[in-house]
Structure 1
Amino acid sequence: IVLAAGGGKGWLTILITLVVVLVISGFLNNIPVVVIFIPIMEAVAARFGTSPSKVMMPLSFAAVLGGMTTIIGSGTNLLVSGALVELGEKPFDFFQFAVPGMVLAGAGLIFVLLFVPRLLPDRASLANQFMEIDGRHFLAQITLDESSALVGLASNNGVFGAFPDMTLRSIQREDNAFLPPFEDVVLAAGDVMVVAATRAALADAVAHDPGLLFPELQDGREDLDGRWLEGDRILAEVMVAPASRMAGLNLNMIGFRHKTHCVVLGMQRRARMMRTRITEIRLEEGDVLLVQGQPADINALRKSDDVVLLEWSAEELPALDHAKRATGIFALVILAAATGFLPVVAASMLGAVAMVAMGVLSFRMAARALDSKIFTMIPAALAMGLAMQVTGGAQYLAQNLIDFLQGAAPAVVLSAFFLLIAGLSNIISAKAAAVLFTPIAVGIAHELGMPVEAFAVAVVFAANCAVATPIGYQTSLLVMGPGHYTFADFARGGIPLIIVLWLTFSFFAPWYYGL
């Protein structure tokens, strides 16, 4: 739906997605919203060749900005409202701070769209960096049998639109070959479509139709529908080794499939792109073959003297036959967390266990998803934040600010108060800052004879500015792994956003509240 709404334009698709996230986050807890949109953003990034690091942090920021617009937008807002009641003040109405919230959210979203992706590094995991599309195209072939939906398809102005991510190089029909442009060509059973495509496009095609790219060999397709279509399926790249016995032979002559129990899906030869069937091309040293097999068979290629298994090239193909099962588990996790039936952590853990127990994920795949840096960094950062609270460090800074600004204009005090909370919320967390600074806000308002609402709203917005560290907001932790971020990346994208929100609040709030 998002891709269709974007009309094939990457920037528009990302814009629409972030706006949708911002709006939804005003009425739902932003944690499940981000959980829902992480795979959507990953799909958008993959579709338009964008690094996940460019879109994951903006996703988190959009959810945080949306949470500033209503009382239920985030737990931080509810904490401030509850603290006001305990202090004898009037609690927030549902849309109490919607107007200033939308002003800040609008300014923040513009900054996030235009500048945050430019501030973030183009980063991916080591495996993704190896497999990232760099213009390399593999030659592959699609054999049409009588049951194929492509049979009878005619070209439109010389183009077949069935595979938009592939380039049709030729159509082999018995002893004849049709070359571009394919005017007046109608596909028939038995045709072999020779295509060129990136690894990502081929992997996507095989994930949706496992046998689509299996080249038919001269000795038939025996065992094809068994071994290669069942169990865990691994996609990897191997290079024809120097002095390989495979050099000078084609796939029909080698018997590669039956010797290795792996099937060749594609072939890449340096900068040359051919138009003949890959089964008829005589291999050369240095050719790269895209192969599919079961984990044990792929690992066995390491012992081969004829091919070299390229490290970090192996990836597990998604089992799309489990998609409905995975979607059901995912929906139950979101429902349990969004309704408060289970804490987010408990719901997520049960969901992960269910994914493994029901065969959606293997234990190996689940273990690879764990990011060790999160488990080592977060406890240390939380300990520092706790120390700021129990030692009275945060209270000390607030009191010094009040003393320093004694006699200053209320607008100046409000602006400085916002900036102090925004800074500390990144150390002690957004919720801790909300609880700690709400009483201080009420005290300052009474001392200056100003509306309590103005300073209480400052606490809401400033506490929600916990975006410069991954520990300030849970949504930051959620995107840290998919975006492959470091601690410093959040400061790189978050600090400028905080400054934008601070300046916007400093100019708008005094006018809006009549200070």
Structure 2
Amino acid sequence: MGLGRNDEGRVDYANIAAATPQVWLTLALLGLALGLYVSEKLPVEVVSIGMLSVMMLAFHLFPVADAAGKNQLTPGALLAGFGNPALLTVMALLVVAEALSRTGALDKLADGVGHLRLPNWAMLLLALAVVGVASAFINDTPVVVMFLPVLQAMAQRGGLASSRVMMPLSFVAILGGMTTLIGSSTNLLVSSALIAQGLPGLDFFDQTPMGLLVAAVGFVYVVFVMPRLLPKGTAGLAGHLLGQGKQFVSQCTVGAGSALEGETAAAGTFRSLPDITVHLIVRDGRPVYPPYDDVQLLAGDELMVAGTRKALSDVAARLPGLLSVPDAKEDDFDAEPPAARGRDASAGERVLVEAMIPPTSRFAGFSVDQLGLQRHGVTVLGIERRARMIRGPTTEIRLQAGDVLLLMGPWDAIDQLRAERDLVVVSGSAGSLPKVHHARRAAFVFLSMVALSAFGVLPIAIAALGAATILVAVGTLTPRQAIRAIDTKVVLMVGNALALGEAMDATGAASFLANHMLAAVGDIGPWGALVAFFGLVAVATNVLSNNATAVLFTPIGVGIARQLGLDPHLFAIATILASNCSFATPIGYQTNLLVMGPGHYRFAHYTKAGLPLMLLLWAAFAVGAKVVWGL
């Protein structure tokens, strides 16, 4: 079903072969899948499983026979995508990224940038550069999550509205993901789609030359032009919103030989308590009030502190046993309630939840230590009261209706609290305590994975699966956490997209679309065809997900390359770069949705700032195809 060429070597569009019924069936299924994904009337999981079921039935009734008369699209062939090395690699990389996030390995990188003493503009520029580099090797979602509060704080200090930095954060992460094979799941899926077409996959740095050119152009636009197109807001509003984070009051005692003993305050803060406000120090029964310039902490000092949930959880992870109700022992933090013993090992995993004192609670008027939660393995890390800031010792605090407690304990104990009528566990507030003592281990495993795959010692599939296995085996992640890190929506959608790609190849639908696309644009030559294809994919990725766009358009690009006698890998790289141009809508990529709330954006803001970026990268690619590839 190919296009012929005339005596001058030009493509002859005069006669395009007629499509078979299976081609029209495949194109109809493709259109149906795209329509359902875009409309979002049904969950992604339902659409994916439903389309797989329909395809298996359709090609059982209307088989696509090979030369030997056997059906090429059996259920086994259509479901083979779920065992695809690229999909398994994506799943493994999600587990690795989860380990880096849960151990706080990325927090150290973000905090290191956030605490540098540089001009505000230089710190913002450096932070975005670090985000771009990190996203080339790490899934960009955890990178954005880690740097989001850092960029918010920088914006506040610099007198900028958060709307000026949140969208650039997401876009720079996407640009960084363009530059290496593991920078985005999109890249791995395109490589896998090449292999499914009977071609060699992409190597680690195959896309890097063109990716760096396109990303560099985009970075300049994002840093210097985009902020001018984003809503100005007010710095005061940004600061006000930042100040609305819940501040939990807690109490800690400086133990002999602890990290806090002997520490001297600098500018009123203590190095071991970053982002924590010390309201009061009680020494030998006497209060010491701020400011604490040159105050040195001594063993036995009691500190009344306040901080956000993240700040308190970071301290609790780094200094076990420090934050607690008075007289709590360090061993209490790892204690399991009797009901947890003998169950899944992940039940003893320490998690944080928020629980509220309801109006009818019998706990109203109780002190923290009278709650009796510790005998169940649950510790109160802090108390938040919306009416006013509590400054006294926690032993003197009498709980009131509406108070929110920050609790830490094993899963089973937290599950038991959900049945407690006098304490309402806030839905969706559960989160595991970072295992900061595993941070170096997680970073070492990750860097080893990158090195082994980058230098060709191991294929990325083996390196990623091995890294994920090691991280679970050494306790950096529990099996439960590893499983929860895998997004079932992505798995099912990609499996369905790979099945559609297999059908498009086997039926000839991909070649049919390639022929008609070339006929539509006319005889514009290899360079024109490649640039036009890039534009088509870039538009599609802002409507579909980037993963679905990449897998569905790769066979079409391969078909065009074969018709033009070009290296299919050029079209594969074009597919990667174009699929990552998801800037014009918030639904194009998940990090765009992550920053939508903190940046106070509307849909139109993405189009106003992101559409010019997409067009700019299209132009940069057109130039790069001439300069880098010599087309």
Tell me the TM-score normalised to structure 1 length: 0.70
Which stretch of structure 1 is more off in the superposition, 199-208 or 346-355? 346-355
2:254 corresponds to: 144
CA distance in 2, matches of 1:512, 1:378: 31
* Partner AA of 1:225 in structure 2: E
Consecutive unaligned residues of structure 2, counting only runs of 5 or more, are: 1-108, 153-161, 182-186, 231-241, 336-347, 542-548, 583-587, 597-602
- Shift of the 200–510 alpha-carbon distance from structure 1 to 2, 3 Å rule, reads closer
2:168 equivalent to 1:45: no
2:363 corresponds to: 246
Which stretch of structure 1 is more off in the superposition, 139-148 or 198-207? 139-148
Identity among equivalent positions (%) equals 30
The answer to whether the Cα contact below 8 Å between 2:252 and 2:323 also exists between their aligned partners in 1 is yes
The answer to whether the Cα contact below 8 Å between 1:228 and 1:293 also exists between their aligned partners in 2 is yes
Q: CA RMSD for the aligned pairs?
A: 4.9
- Shift of the 437–408 alpha-carbon distance from structure 1 to 2, 3 Å rule, reads closer
1:226 corresponds to: 331
- Shift of the 397–108 alpha-carbon distance from structure 1 to 2, 3 Å rule, reads farther
The answer to whether the Cα contact below 8 Å between 1:155 and 1:186 also exists between their aligned partners in 2 is yes
Q: CA deviation at 1:213?
A: 0.8
* Partner AA of 1:296 in structure 2: D
The answer to whether the Cα contact below 8 Å between 1:442 and 1:456 also exists between their aligned partners in 2 is no
* Partner AA of 1:337 in structure 2: S
1:261 corresponds to: 377
1:174 corresponds to: 284
- Shift of the 150–347 alpha-carbon distance from structure 1 to 2, 3 Å rule, reads closer
Q: CA deviation at 1:348?
A: 2.9
CA distance in 2, matches of 1:97, 1:369: 28
CA distance in 2, matches of 1:111, 1:213: 45
1:62 pairs with one of 152, 168, 176: 176
The answer to whether the Cα contact below 8 Å between 1:168 and 1:196 also exists between their aligned partners in 2 is yes
Render the CA deviation track for 1:410-469: whole Å, top value 9, x for unaligned.
Answer: 9866754654576789355576456433344448xxxxxxxxx9x996885466423268
- Shift of the 296–497 alpha-carbon distance from structure 1 to 2, 3 Å rule, reads same
CA distance in 1, matches of 2:516, 2:457: 42
- Shift of the 75–200 alpha-carbon distance from structure 1 to 2, 3 Å rule, reads closer
Structural mapping, 1:9-88, within 5 Å: 11-20=124-133, 33-35=137-139, 40-48=143-151, 55=169, 58-65=172-179
2:541 equivalent to 1:436: no
CA distance in 1, matches of 2:220, 2:349: 44
* Partner AA of 2:422 in structure 1: D
Structural mapping, 1:151-300, within 5 Å: 151-183=261-293, 185-216=295-326, 220-221=327-328, 224-229=329-334, 231-252=348-369, 254=370, 256-300=372-416
Q: CA deviation at 1:146?
A: 2.7
* Partner AA of 2:579 in structure 1: A
2:422 corresponds to: 306
CA distance in 1, matches of 2:472, 2:405: 31
CA distance in 1, matches of 2:355, 2:572: 57
CA distance in 1, matches of 2:415, 2:293: 45
2:590 equivalent to 1:467: no
Describe the SS at the equivalent of 1:107: helix
Q: CA deviation at 1:12?
A: 2.6
1:344 pairs with one of 460, 473, 477: 460
CA distance in 2, matches of 1:171, 1:481: 43
* Partner AA of 1:61 in structure 2: L
Q: CA deviation at 1:144?
A: 1.2
CA distance in 1, matches of 2:423, 2:522: 76
Render the CA deviation track for 1:174-222: whole Å, top value 9, x for unaligned.
Answer: 3322223335643332221111100010011111111111232xxx44x
1:473 corresponds to: none
Q: CA deviation at 1:369?
A: 1.5
Q: CA deviation at 1:255?
A: 5.3
CA distance in 1, matches of 2:179, 2:149: 25
The answer to whether the Cα contact below 8 Å between 2:561 and 2:571 also exists between their aligned partners in 1 is no
The answer to whether the Cα contact below 8 Å between 2:558 and 2:572 also exists between their aligned partners in 1 is no
Describe the SS at the equivalent of 1:45: helix
* Partner AA of 1:201 in structure 2: A
How many residue pairs get aligned? The number is 451
- Shift of the 247–422 alpha-carbon distance from structure 1 to 2, 3 Å rule, reads closer
CA distance in 2, matches of 1:247, 1:440: 76
1:104 pairs with one of 195, 201, 214: 214
Describe the SS at the equivalent of 2:366: coil
CA distance in 2, matches of 1:133, 1:370: 33
The answer to whether the Cα contact below 8 Å between 2:352 and 2:409 also exists between their aligned partners in 1 is yes
Q: CA deviation at 1:373?
A: 0.9
Q: CA deviation at 1:168?
A: 1.6
Which stretch of structure 1 is more off in the superposition, 184-193 or 417-426? 417-426
Structural mapping, 1:344-383, within 5 Å: 344-383=460-499
Consecutive unaligned residues of structure 1, counting only runs of 5 or more, are: 23-29, 68-72, 87-93, 120-131, 444-452, 470-475
CA distance in 1, matches of 2:611, 2:172: 13
The answer to whether the Cα contact below 8 Å between 2:385 and 2:402 also exists between their aligned partners in 1 is yes
Q: CA deviation at 1:19?
A: 4.7
- Shift of the 369–75 alpha-carbon distance from structure 1 to 2, 3 Å rule, reads closer
Q: CA deviation at 1:277?
A: 0.9
The answer to whether the Cα contact below 8 Å between 1:152 and 1:186 also exists between their aligned partners in 2 is yes
The answer to whether the Cα contact below 8 Å between 2:538 and 2:581 also exists between their aligned partners in 1 is no
CA distance in 1, matches of 2:432, 2:526: 60
CA distance in 1, matches of 2:611, 2:504: 20
Q: CA deviation at 1:361?
A: 2.1
CA distance in 2, matches of 1:74, 1:379: 13
Q: CA deviation at 1:16?
A: 1.5
CA distance in 1, matches of 2:319, 2:355: 22
1:322 corresponds to: 438
Q: CA deviation at 1:108?
A: 2.7
* Partner AA of 1:318 in structure 2: P
